[in-house]
Amino acid sequence: MEIKKLWTFPVPSTCLQNGIRFINKTANALILFDYYDENDKDKIYNGGILFNIVVAYKNTDEKFTKSLGGTYDTLVEYKNSEWLEELYKLNPEWAKIWDIRHFAIYFDSYGKYEIIAKDFKILEIKEGPLKD
């Protein structure tokens, strides 16, 4: 399995302000977060990662995460992972049409998030905490 680094969290995930929000709506999923930046007078910022055409996801608690696989504070793509290969075998036609990929990121104290989706987008980082 090949691991491709795609994006690094702006600060150590130990600086998360209000945790992680995972939202799965229709075919898309969001990981939302806010954090304080120790190098910017502890100002609070928020942002997120949008995943498009999500076909599977899981979140593993840090106490049950077998391997970080390069995901600590880093969004990665696992190329040719077992899970991805399994899904391609289950439905090769749609897996190819959507060109699904295996993404993963680990946040300290919040565990490892793995998402099988067509693509992702990093949302704009904005000043201030997440709003309800």
> What distance in Å separates the CA atoms of residue 105 and residue 40, rounded to the nearest whole number?
24
Q: What domain count does the chain have?
A: 1
For 83, phi then psi, to 5°, come to -65, -45
Give the domain extent around 72.
Answer: 2-126
Per-position pLDDT tens, the chain of length 132 = 899 999 999 999 999 999 999 999 889 999 999 999 999 999 999 999 999 999 999 999 989 988 898 999 999 999 999 999 999 999 999 999 999 999 999 999 999 999 999 999 999 999 999 987
Query: Which DSSP letter does residue 64 get?
Result: G
Task: Take residue 65 and report the two structure tokens written for it.
Answer: 């995460």
Is 83 exposed, middle or buried, given 0-12, 13-18 or 19+ CB atoms closer than 10 A?
middle
Within a domain: 47: yes
Q: Is residue 132 part of a domain?
A: no
